[in-house]
Structure 1
Amino acid sequence: MRITILCVGRVKEKYFAGAISEYMKRLTRYCRPEIIEVPDEKTPENAPPAVEQKIRETEGARLIGKMSPDAYRVALAIDGKMLSSEELSGFLSERMVRGVSHLEFLIGGSLGLSEEVLRKADFRLSFSRMTFPHQLMRVILLEQVYRGFKIMAGEPYHK
């Protein structure tokens, strides 16, 4: 299975980059992981809602331009469905059984995903009602996908 994380912006902090690199390496045992980044837009301080909307749309158009036509798309969205680690493992397993060979996880920039990107998603996944920095979200997502594959394989993993 191919797992793509399609996201807005670059990871700037070395500690996030190190964790991302480690989980990408671990995941190669179970799938073909990749990260595709699109440029983010500078958000002015105290930007009015119309400016924020335009930024989401611009970043969203960039994400859409990189989407794979054959992928099953999972948007990370605060209003999405929350799953336990075991449920996420089941979700991954079920997609594989149904013949899905490419999962694409969509992570927006600091303002989130555009409505158009959300409409193109096959599933909306939430990790919490809290807001996380989009760079940290990559680490959390990768760790949970890795954990999901470990659970699926019946392999031990720390709790």
Structure 2
Amino acid sequence: MKTYLVMVGRTSDPWLNTGISDYFKRISRYIPFQDIVIPDIKKAKNLSENLLKEKEGEVILKNILPGDVLVILDEKGREFTSRQFAQWMEKQMASGIKNLWFVIGGAYGFSPEVYKRADFKISLSQMTFSHQMVRLFFAEQLYRSLTILNNEPYHHD
């Protein structure tokens, strides 16, 4: 199974980029992994929130194939403990799916089309974080889940 993390827009803070890159390298030691950054939509400031989400959604969905699993990180999604998320990942890996897509949306969330296509919604917290911070938090949790599944000492209960 190949795992993708799709992110809308660039991360502008160098310290965040450093942390995110570090976790991406760690993740790649365990599973086939690719990060995809969707460039900011041109002239986004001239678009309504709904039109911006629609344009971002079109780019998000263009690579998702039938049979791929699409997981969106959304404030209304299911919350997991780290161990629960590791168990969820293990089920996905054992299910025989070819591609697992995680998507972190832009500042305004997702279009109705992305919500409709999503197989799962996951929330990292009831708190609100910037979509740039979510990249680091999710990368760390994905890495943590893989260390849990490999019985490595990174995670402590």
Q: With structure 1 as the length reference, what TM-score do the two structures score? A: 0.89
Where does structure 1 lack aligned partners over 5 or more consecutive residues? none
Q: Structure 2 matches for 1:97-112, cutoff 5 A?
A: 97-112=94-109
Q: Any conservation in 1 of the 2:49–2:108 contact (CA below 8 Å)? A: yes
Q: Deviations over 1:6-61 (max 9, x none)?
A: 121011111111011100111122111111111224654xx9xx911111111111
- Aligned match of 1:14: 14
Paired position in structure 2 for 1:137: 134
State the Cα distance separating 1:158 from its structure 2 match.
4.5
Is 1:39–1:59's contact at 8 Å kept on the other side of the alignment?
Answer: no
CA distance in 2, matches of 1:76, 1:139: 13
Instruction: Name the counterpart of 2:29.
Output: 29
Equivalent-residue separation in structure 1 for 2:65 and 2:4 (angstroms): 9
**Which of 75, 78, 102 is the matching residue for 2:75?**
78
- Alpha-carbon deviation of 1:71? 2.3
Distance verdict in 2 for CA 1:132–1:68, change over 3 Å:
farther
| Alignment RMSD (CA, Å) | 1.8
* Structure 2 spans left out of the alignment, 5+ residues: none
CA distance in 2, matches of 1:38, 1:105: 13
Please say if 1:59 is aligned against 2:56: yes
Q: 2:150 is matched with which residue: 135, 143, 153?
A: 153
Q: How many pairs align?
A: 155
Q: Percent identity?
A: 35
